[in-house]
């Protein structure tokens, strides 16, 4: 039997190992935990307000928002959407204005709504109770939020929730696909961790700390059974899925970066979402997109590994003018502000790589020793888990509007989106990242 770590146990283990400044989050996961958790929170904090994305969240006892509003003395409810909401600057500003200072902010909604609430709580000096409405992502608990800034997906520092509630009475009522998306989000962790090790090995970003992710990585073999629980709306299994997602979310906040759970696959997913926002169409769940993108990222690792072992290539940081032109061409359809936002992030990374080219060359020289530290699945091993879990594997599995052309664009340009160093950056400085190699990866990923 595979052990699913309790989030509080992860925190206890890290304290024993000398970690300081760990969050004091009250984590409530299980059956019928909602009412007592809200009662306890309202006894500690005052002036409640509920913020919701308007989704039809229910328990056997009735609609969640209505129940909570009544329990809290008919407190005000701010509804930001009609089932979905966009985490852009305008929506955040509206939430901040309507919530006001020093509140007990109770968020009821999906991951995007929770991201907005975490930023709102930070900006208003409010306490925050996050009511998780599906096992869709690992970010409900982290002190990071993904916002749309100048048209680009950006991760910003927000605030730890004071209380996280994952009540299986609510989770079992969520669409099975949303809960399955959380399994998809978790399936990407080994690749994200490997890319974190890559960047940290070069001295870029947060130092690698195995203790932060070891318990989550150890639970990866449980994903097929958790996927079955998601499809069957099985309460105990969904509670376990919520626990593992919370453990992954904690790792990001503890490190102070999304590196333990976000690599190339998340950059690809962000670009897909940005493209759909431009078309004003609904994107597939984030956890489904990153699963498909991970299959591609693992093949980029194979490309880099094959290149280094067969040719001992020269490291060359791209020319500034050529890089700017590439970004302008890649993101032209997203608008001038987005082009400039992405260039600002990428140019900082490019400058760092230029200053640390010797470190990249040293890693390439000692590539065999570095790769022995990785616990990275092969594409075939990853596919076994994906297929056993019922997760998507191809662009067309994600729904209308997805095809190989869009996936090609997102993968080809993923390294130009943000400042984080990825395996695609390494392929680029080795001179093997091109339209041809990207297309070959897309084509290879179609084979099973």
The DSSP code sequence of 373-399 is T--PPPHHHHHHHHHHHT---SGGGG-
Residue from 147, 406, 399 nearest 275 by CA: 406
Query: What's the pLDDT at 278?
Result: 86
Beta bridge partners of 105: 49, 128
Q: 84 Cβ partners below 8 Å, 6+ apart? A: 53, 55, 110, 112, 282
Cα distance between residue 283 and residue 273, in whole Å: 6
Query: What's the pLDDT at 19?
Result: 86
DSSP 8-state class, residue 356: T
Cα distance between residue 305 and residue 401, in whole Å: 33
Q: What are phi and psi of 157, to 5 degrees?
A: -70, 130
Contact 319, 434 (CB under 8 A): no
Query: What's the pLDDT at 24?
Result: 87
Per-residue pLDDT of the chain (448 residues; tens, 9 = 90+): 678 989 988 898 888 888 878 888 999 999 999 999 999 999 999 999 999 999 999 988 899 999 999 999 999 999 998 888 999 999 999 999 999 999 999 999 999 999 999 999 999 999 999 999 999 999 999 999 999 999 999 999 999 999 999 999 999 999 999 999 999 999 999 999 999 999 999 999 999 999 999 999 999 999 999 999 999 999 999 999 999 999 999 999 999 999 999 999 999 999 999 999 988 778 999 999 999 999 999 999 999 999 999 987 899 999 999 999 999 999 999 999 999 999 999 999 999 999 999 999 999 999 999 999 999 999 999 999 999 999 999 999 999 999 999 999 999 999 999 999 999 999 999 999 999 999 999 999 987 6
Domains and CATH numbers, the chain: 261-445 (1.20.1090)
Contact 121, 73 (CB under 8 A): no
Q: Tokens 């994903």 label which residue?
A: 223
Residue 318 to residues 275, 293, 301, 425: CA-CA distances in angstroms? 26, 24, 20, 10
Q: How are the residues of the chain apportioned to helix, strand and coil, as percentages rounded to the nearest 5?
A: 60, 10, 30
Contact 192, 266 (CB under 8 A): yes
Residue 172 CA to its chain's centroid (Å)? 22
Element spanning 107, H or E? strand 104-109
- Give the angle subtended at the CA of 169 by the CAs of 168 and 173, to the nearest 5°: 100
Q: 219 Cβ partners below 8 Å, 6+ apart? A: 2, 3, 4, 5, 244, 247
Cα distance between residue 265 and residue 294, in whole Å: 5
- Alpha helices by DSSP H, listed for 125-188, are 168-171, 176-187
Q: What are phi and psi of 141, to 5 degrees?
A: -100, -20
**Residue 221 exposed, middle or buried by CB count within 10 Å (0-12, 13-18, 19+):** exposed
Confidence (pTM): 0.95
């Amino acid at each position: 039997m595979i052990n699913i770590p309790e989030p509080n146990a992860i925190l206890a283990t890290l304290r024993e190992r000398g970690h300081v400044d760990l969050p004091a989050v009250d984590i409530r996961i299980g059956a019928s935990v909602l009412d007592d958790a809200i009662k306890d929170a309202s006894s500690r904090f005052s002036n409640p307000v509920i913020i919701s994305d308007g989704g039809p969240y229910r328990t056997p006892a009735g609609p969640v928002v209505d129940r909570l509003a009544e329990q809290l003395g008919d407190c005000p409810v701010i509804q930001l959407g009609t089932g979905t909401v966009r985490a852009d600057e305008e929506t955040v500003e509206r939430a901040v204005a309507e919530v006001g200072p020093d509140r007990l902010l109770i968020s009821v909604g999906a991951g995007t709504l929770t991201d907005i609430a975490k930023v709102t709580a930070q900006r208003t000096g409010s306490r925050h109770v996050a009511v998780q409405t599906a096992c869709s992502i690992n970010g409900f608990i982290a002190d990071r939020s993904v916002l749309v800034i100048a048209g680009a997906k950006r991760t910003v520092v927000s605030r730890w929730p004071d209380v996280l509630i994952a009540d299986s009475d609510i989770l079992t009522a969520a669409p099975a696909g949303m809960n399955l998306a959380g399994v998809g989000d978790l399936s990407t962790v080994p690749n994200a961790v490997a890319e974190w090790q890559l960047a940290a090995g070069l001295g870029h970003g947060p130092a690698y700390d195995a203790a932060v992710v070891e318990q989550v990585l150890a639970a990866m073999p449980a994903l097929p059974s958790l996927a079955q629980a998601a499809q069957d709306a099985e309460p105990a299994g969904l509670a376990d899925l919520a626990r593992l997602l919370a453990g992954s979310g904690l790792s990001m906040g503890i490190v102070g970066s999304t590196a333990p759970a976000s690599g190339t696959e998340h950059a690809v997913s962000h670009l897909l979402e940005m493209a759909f926002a431009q078309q004003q169409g609904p994107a597939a769940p984030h956890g489904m997109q990153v699963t498909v993108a991970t299959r591609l990222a693992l093949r980029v690792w194979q490309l880099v590994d094959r290149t280094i072992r067969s040719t001992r290539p020269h490291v060359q940081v791209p020319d500034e003018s050529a890089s700017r032109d590439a970004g302008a061409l890649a993101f032209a359809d997203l608008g001038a502000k987005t082009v400039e936002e992405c260039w600002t992030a990428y140019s900082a990374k490019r400058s760092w790589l230029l200053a640390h080219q010797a470190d990249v060359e040293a890693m390439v020289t000692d590539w065999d020793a570095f790769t022995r530290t990785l616990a990275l699945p092969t594409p075939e091993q990853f596919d076994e888990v994906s297929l056993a879990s019922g997760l998507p594997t191809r662009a067309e599995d994600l729904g209308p509007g997805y095809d190989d052309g869009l996936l090609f664009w997102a993968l080809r340009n993923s390294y130009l989106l943000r400042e984080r160093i990825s395996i695609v950056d390494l392929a680029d400085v080795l001179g093997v990242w091109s339209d041809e190699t990207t297309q070959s990866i897309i084509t290879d990923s179609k084979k099973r």
